[in-house]
Amino acid sequence: MSRSAALLLIGAATLAGCTLLNPFPTAPRVAQPGSPAGPRVAICYNTLSTSLAEVQAEAQQECGANTVASPIDTDWYLQNCPLLLPARATFVCTAKK
């Protein structure tokens, strides 16, 4: 194995083992006409390393008590999320019924 290949492998292993790829809250997308009303939360995540259940759980933590985080939109604009976590899922927090 060449030296550059070994360094690349070590770098990839380091990146995979750290928390750089954990989803995190960000600014939600502005409400579009006809979309559900209510408080909004958004989560940046990597579609290759984060399951939809993990994104949902993160959004639920951001919503208030006695509410349900319902997904309404996903976008890949890099204004709010970094390159390693390019997807932004927006949720609306609705009262539990």
Distance CA 76, CA 90 (A): 11
Residue 63 placed within a domain:
yes
Residue 3 placed within a domain:
no
Residue 7 placed within a domain:
no
Helices (H) and strands (E) in the chain, counts: 2, 4
pTM of the model: 0.76
Classify each residue of 11-27 as buried b or exposed e, where b means 16 or more C-beta atoms within 10 Å of its C-beta.
Answer: eeeeeeeeeeeebeebe
Residue 90 placed within a domain:
yes
Residue 78 placed within a domain:
yes
- So what's the pLDDT on residue 23? 93
- So what's the pLDDT on residue 78? 85
Our count of domains for the chain comes to 1
Residue 86 placed within a domain:
yes
Q: Which domain holds residue 47?
A: 21-95
SS (H, E, C) 8-53: HHHHHHHHHHCHHHCCEEECCCCCCCCCCCCCEEEEEECCCCCCHH
pLDDT digits (tens, 9 = 90+) for 8-19: 766 666 655 556
pLDDT digits (tens, 9 = 90+) for 18-39: 567 889 999 998 888 888 888 9
pLDDT digits (tens, 9 = 90+) for 50-97: 999 999 999 999 998 899 999 999 999 888 898 889 999 999 999 988
